[in-house]
Homo-oligomer: A and B are copies of this chain.
């Protein structure tokens, strides 16, 4: 029987949440700031990035360590900071996130900026507390800062914001997403490759799989913004269109966007096929679950 993503989620989301809380307790002494950080990091997120990281590690080594959960928590802290800052009035100006008031709506703008800064900084504090050897820790700091920083997520967000006043080419749109959304998702494979003793060949396929997942996820998200309601999304629907954002449906039409999504999913299946050729004992059930996540039927 192959592994199922839904039971893996049920088993590990509470452990991810517990690791986040333990780390917050260890590194944030002020209760008010801790509760502002906890409010956003526990605001009902799907834990997509931590779960993808842990699913890859489980797939290649069948066991999850405390260090794996620490890296998962750091990754979620970085993701949460980016949402808090993206939602600010000067950026996307969003009042709702996962059905709840955004950080600045609840605590005010100054506190939201600082809560984001706190989560970004503490992610590196958490990484630096790993039990494993220092060479691996340094590699993880390098990869996470590169993925999140000025040549990763931040430049993607800069381009996203500037895109409100100009129309991008499809190439530029893809570069935007490779940085804004793709780099943190790709980090899951890069981090898993540092944390485990996976072969170079398998490591490359995992990076390919997560890179494709990042692209597919963004197209999927853009399509959902057009086709789903605010209640289904847990955030304001149709905002991309209203803000004249550069999205796949806006630039190439909904029909072509769906074809593009199918095509990237095909590449992900090819990644999995090659992984099973490299090591036929691998149970790829969890990673197949991430492909199923991208089904456009509202039943995920």
Q: A-side interface residues toward B, CB under 8 Å? A: 27-30, 32-34, 37, 81, 85, 88, 90-91, 108-111, 113-114, 116-118, 120-122, 124-125, 127-129, 133-135, 137-138, 141-142, 144-146, 148-151, 154-155, 157-158, 161
* Cβ-closest 8 pairs across A and B: A90-B109, A121-B149, A134-B134, A125-B145, A118-B150, A128-B141, A128-B142, A124-B145
Is there an interface contact between A90 and B113, defined as CB atoms closer than 8 Å?
yes
Most buried by B among A37, A154, A161: A154
Residue in chain B with minimal CB distance to A155: B30
In the assembled complex, how far is the CB of residue A24 from the closest CB belonging to chain B, in whole angstroms? 9
Chain B residues with CB under 8 Å of A144's CB are 124
User: With A111-B158, A141-B127 as given contacts, are A117 and B85 in contact (CB-CB < 8 Å)?
Assistant: yes
Partner of A145 from B88, B121, B157 at Cβ < 8 Å: B121
User: With A138-B137, A141-B141 as given contacts, are A154 and B118 in contact (CB-CB < 8 Å)?
Assistant: yes
Is there an interface contact between B128 and A30, defined as CB atoms closer than 8 Å?
no
In the assembled complex, how far is the CB of residue A271 from the closest CB belonging to chain B, in whole angstroms? 26
In the assembled complex, how far is the CB of residue A19 from the closest CB belonging to chain B, in whole angstroms? 17
Instruction: Report the separation of the CA atoms of residues A109 and B122 in the bound assembly, to the nearest whole angstrom.
Output: 24
Chain B residues with CB under 8 Å of A150's CB are 27-28, 30, 33-34, 37, 118, 121-122
